[in-house]
Amino acid sequence: MTYKQTAWVKNSREATGQDQLGLRFFSETIYQDLLPNITNVTSRGRYYSFYPWLIWSVEKRFDDLKDYSLQKIVRRADCLLTLIGLYHNYISDNSGHSLHDGLVGAKKLSSVLAEMLESGEMAQLSTYAIEEESSDRYFKNKFGGLGQYYFGPLRDAGILAYNEKNEINYTEDRGLIIAEAFDQSVNGDDFFEVLKNDWVTENDLENLLDFCPCRLSVNPAEQNTLIDFLFSRIEIFQHPLWENRRKSLTSILDFIESSNNLGLEMKIDSTGVHNFLGSAYSSAFHNQVLWNDELEQTSETKILWRQYYAGELLSYAVQALFWAGLTKLTEDERIVLNSKDYGSWFGEVFGSALPEFVGSNFTEIVNEITLNLPEITDRNSPNHEIYLTRQLEQTVKDKWLPNRQEKIVVLATQILLTLAARFENNRLNFPVSFTNQQLNEYPINLTNFIYYAGNDWRTMKLNEWLAWLATKWGVETHLMIALRKLQQESLDTFKVFPSEEGLQVKEFIGDKTIEEILMPGFTSPRLRTTFQILLDLGLLTIENESLILTPTGKNLLEEITYG
């Protein structure tokens, strides 16, 4: 007799999903190359030196700390450092941007500090550094902020590593240099005394203020060593893969300095990010003054940022079409049989809302747009792809706007046609190339866009092209991405799925509507955390809510530019 082996099949977990069309891959690949060892969660420069110092200090105090696991010490140290930063913020007169944002576990520990100051009593570090499940626990990851945020970047930078016992350790070259530099401005014995005692008082926090993340630039040795590392200023911190980081950081300093000289604001928020990206894309500031780098090598990096931002403009427009189509389908309670039927419906419903373009097909329309295409430097022109994208963003956010979906489709279509005109004959050269497998697995990308614009789309009428986008770069791409996530991660990220009754849209997932879930968005290219790290290093400061270079920042920029 033959027996068949059976097993339980694990149910998939339903998830809202952040990348319904697989658009993030190309953007993330590029900005990871541009800013290696910096992530969107490594928001404070001093953690890059604090963690190597902590592990180095534990080794020095081995006999005294032999009863404590490194895991326990790291978790207590996280809590203590955050309480120091929060306390410094409490006693400081900080207006506008806080010098004490981005502290590990601050959400939990801010209430601990408030209670501690109000009651005048001590706080016990182990209560919040506990590893077991607890309402008081500051962080789930067993190595706290180090394990969750900083170990990966520090390992990739050759500052931390696993030793032969598979334990986290500092490296004997880069890690040791940074640890010793940090040690020059702090009293390590006092810090470890509090860790061992487990109880912390207000006097302890006052005594340990030199550890505050905002004090990085007060320690010249630590400041210079981290600048050496991030700007690859000396041989020990040089690596071919880090050249783009050095050039990107230099470009950021140059952009801020040039903006200051032109009297333009450079904020640390998303407007500052988009101003930098818009200027890198257009090679000009938003008043059409050209952005000319003194250093030729940084112009290569600007082209990489241009490639990144071009992909973001494409991505946002395609997301907007997907959002408009599925939300409209839900509102109209329309039944479509399959993806092709959905595309036909999309072209019919939204095609009539489009303005009268000159030309009978895609190629003729793009050629007409090319005749009136503003220079890439003129990003304030109403016909420029950046200006149109800003308009699309505002329209997406205006929930009470009449005929909102139709207006979104009009703007998204204009952006895509403008990008096709801009990239005609591939006039913009993009340095990062991707494999055919990557282009097939994530089909919505600049390379495929330029190819289709010069081939498959050429003879399509506008309604046919809209139908193609809704079908191929809408439903079919979403189903492919969702099936892959289901197979690889057991995640159900389907927002629309085939059924016996035709395609069905999930109107709700958890407590979120399909309208909320599919809202278009941009990726975060690590620029906001980079601005914060440059602030921590004392290369930037904030005046009147605008970033400006400090004398140290100006000297560094001049040193890099002129030698």
Among the listed residues 253, 300, 312, 303, the one whose alpha carbon sits nearest the alpha carbon of residue 281: 303
Question: Three-class SS of residue 160?
Answer: strand
Question: What is the rounded CA–CA span in Å between residue 41 and residue 56?
Answer: 24
Given a contact cutoff of 8 angstroms between Cβ atoms, the answer to whether 198 and 168 are in contact is no
Task: Say if residue 88 is exposed, middle or buried (CB neighbours under 10 Å; 0-12, 13-18, 19+).
Answer: buried
State residue 3's pLDDT score.
Answer: 44
Q: pLDDT tens across 366-377, in order?
A: 999 999 999 999
pLDDT at 428 over 70: no
State residue 480's pLDDT score.
Answer: 96
State residue 356's pLDDT score.
Answer: 87
| CA end-to-end distance (rounded Å), the chain | 82
> How large is the average pLDDT for residues 246-274?
92
More confident residue, 166 or 146: 146
Q: pLDDT tens across 66-80, in order?
A: 899 999 999 999 999
- Taking CB atoms within 8 Å and a gap of at least 24, the contacts of 242-245 are 242/36, 242/37, 244/33, 244/34, 244/35, 244/36, 244/301, 244/304, 245/34, 245/35, 245/36, 245/37, 245/38
Q: pLDDT tens across 319-366, in order?
A: 999 999 999 999 988 889 899 999 999 999 999 899 888 888 999 999
pLDDT at 499 over 90: no
Instruction: Give the distance from CA 562 to its chain's centroid.
Output: 32
State residue 128's pLDDT score.
Answer: 96
Given a contact cutoff of 8 angstroms between Cβ atoms, the answer to whether 34 and 305 are in contact is yes
Chain mean pLDDT for the chain = 92
Orientation of helix 404-422 relative to helix 385-397, angle to 10°: 160
**Using CA of residue 333, residue 336, residue 340, residue 345, what is the dihedral sign?**
negative
pTM of the predicted model over 0.95: no
Q: In the structure, what pLDDT confidence band is assigned to residue 432 with cuts at 50, 70 and 90?
A: confident
Q: pLDDT tens across 518-563, in order?
A: 999 999 999 999 999 999 999 999 998 899 999 999 999 999 988 7
Question: What is the rounded CA–CA span in Å between residue 498 and residue 488?
Answer: 20
